[in-house]
């Protein structure tokens, strides 16, 4: 019995005990639905500049949790493919994922990851720990290794609020390499072509104990520095009213800053740059 037979009735695979992993279920019964398993034919490599890529994303911890932000630009070579791409997404109530890299595969991976976490919670009756969420995402990235080696890489950034961690350390940040290597970062991190400049800005601006507003302004300043030196990263587009996406995760869960709030902070940051083009000095 399959999904399309017997009047749409579910097949036996749906009633057979197995793994709580949705990706493992698909791999066993419908592997063709896993975009991360599809590899280009031997000898074929994605043409440079012909596939939209997204950059830059960053994360930093603050007093109440963790903040995740991203610019809105996607590029194809020297062309701007999209000006309002959304690179920051909730994974579940207490975690979020942002991405740099091949946009089409990244969006599919994020959607699959969201289903993976929901499926686990429905099967097991409890949510994954944050460490388990990070390991599960690392496994999905590893499945994409074949495509990454052919020029279709996806580089996510995972953040979450961990109620099991000590006070002051509950906002956590995880980065990954193309082979699914998992690394926990302290205080802040950035991914994408503009990440060296964003990390440099955060190294200067970050300090522990920041409130939400201070953290959001630091993230916007870092994205501005990335856009200033990396053509693939887009800064605030005042005329089109397109601003970076900024989200936070605290004990109250995931929250995306509203458009008016992000616009207000972006305009404040742009005005500061008029008087100091290179950005604010490090705090004492």
Q: What is the pLDDT of residues 206-253, one digit of tens each?
A: 999 999 999 999 999 999 999 999 999 999 999 999 999 999 999 999
Mean pLDDT of the chain: 88
pLDDT value at 14 more than 80: no
Please tell me which residue, 145 or 200, carries the higher pLDDT value. 200
Q: What are phi and psi of 49, to 5 degrees?
A: 80, 5
pLDDT of residue 4: 45
Q: What global pTM score does this model have?
A: 0.86
- Report the run of H or E that residue 136 belongs to, with start and end: helix 130-143
Q: What are phi and psi of 247, to 5 degrees?
A: -130, 155
pLDDT value at 166 more than 80: yes
Mean pLDDT of 174-186: 96
pLDDT value at 38 more than 80: no
Please tell me which residue, 177 or 46, carries the higher pLDDT value. 177
Cis, peptide link before residue 185, omega less than 30° from 0: no
SS3 state of residue 16: coil
pLDDT value at 19 more than 90: no
pLDDT of residue 2: 45
SS3 state of residue 237: strand
> CA 64 → CA 185, 209, 260, distances in Å?
17, 8, 22
pLDDT of residue 80: 94
From the list 23, 36, 55, 102, the catalytic residue is 55
- Report the run of H or E that residue 129 belongs to, with start and end: none
Q: CB under 8 Å to 260, separation ≥6 — which residues?
A: none
206-215: long-range contacts (C-beta < 8 A, 24 or more apart)?
206/60, 207/283, 208/61, 208/168, 209/62, 209/63, 210/60, 210/62, 210/63, 211/62, 211/63, 211/64, 212/62, 212/63, 212/64, 212/67, 212/248, 213/265, 214/62, 215/60, 215/62, 215/67, 215/248
Please tell me which residue, 16 or 162, carries the higher pLDDT value. 162
pLDDT value at 133 more than 60: yes
pLDDT of residue 144: 84
The DSSP line for 151-186 is T--EEEEEEEE-TTSPTT--EEEEEE-TT--EEEES
Q: What are phi and psi of 140, to 5 degrees?
A: -65, -40
Count of beta carbons in the 10 Å neighbourhood of residue 175: 19
How large a percentage of the chain has pLDDT more than 70? 83
pLDDT value at 11 more than 90: no
Q: Give 102-125 pLDDT, tens digit per residue.
A: 999 999 999 999 999 998 998 888
105-111: long-range contacts (C-beta < 8 A, 24 or more apart)?
105/35, 105/36, 105/144, 105/147, 105/152, 105/154, 106/54, 106/154, 106/156, 108/35, 108/36, 109/35, 109/36, 109/140, 109/141, 109/144, 109/154, 109/156, 110/156
pLDDT of residue 33: 57
Mean pLDDT of 130-144: 93
pLDDT of residue 132: 95
Please tell me which residue, 13 or 259, carries the higher pLDDT value. 259
Answer yes or no: 55 catalytic: yes
pLDDT of residue 259: 95
């Amino acid at each position: 019995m399959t999904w399309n037979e017997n009047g749409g009735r579910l097949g036996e695979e749906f009633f057979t005990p197995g793994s709580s992993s949705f990706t493992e279920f698909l791999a066993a019964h419908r592997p063709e639905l896993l975009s991360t398993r599809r590899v280009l034919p031997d000898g074929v490599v994605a043409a440079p500049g012909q596939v939209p890529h997204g950059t830059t994303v960053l994360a930093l911890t603050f007093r109440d949790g963790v903040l995740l932000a991203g610019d809105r630009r996607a590029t194809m070579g020297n062309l701007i493919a999209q000006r309002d791409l959304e690179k920051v997404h909730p994974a579940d109530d207490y975690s979020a994922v942002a991405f740099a890299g091949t946009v089409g595969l990244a969006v599919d991976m994020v959607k699959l990851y969201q289903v993976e976490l929901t499926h686990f919670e429905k099967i097991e009756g409890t949510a994954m720990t944050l460490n388990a969420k990070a390991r599960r995402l690392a496994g999905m990235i590893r499945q994409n290794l074949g495509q990454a080696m052919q020029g279709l890489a996806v580089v996510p950034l995972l953040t979450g609020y961990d109620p099991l961690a000590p006070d002051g350390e509950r906002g956590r940040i995880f980065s990954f390499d193309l082979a699914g290597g998992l690394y926990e970062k302290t205080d802040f991190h950035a991914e994408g072509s503009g990440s060296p400049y964003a990390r440099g800005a955060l190294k200067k601006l970050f300090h522990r104990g920041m409130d939400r507003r201070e953290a959001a302004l630091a993230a916007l300043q870092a994205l501005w520095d990335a856009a200033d030196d990396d053509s693939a990263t887009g800064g605030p587009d005042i005329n089109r009213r397109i601003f970076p996406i900024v989200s936070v995760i605290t004990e109250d869960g995931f929250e995306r800053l509203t458009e008016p709030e992000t616009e207000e902070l972006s305009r404040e940051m742009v005005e500061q740059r008029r008087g100091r083009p290179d950005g604010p000095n490090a705090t004492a």
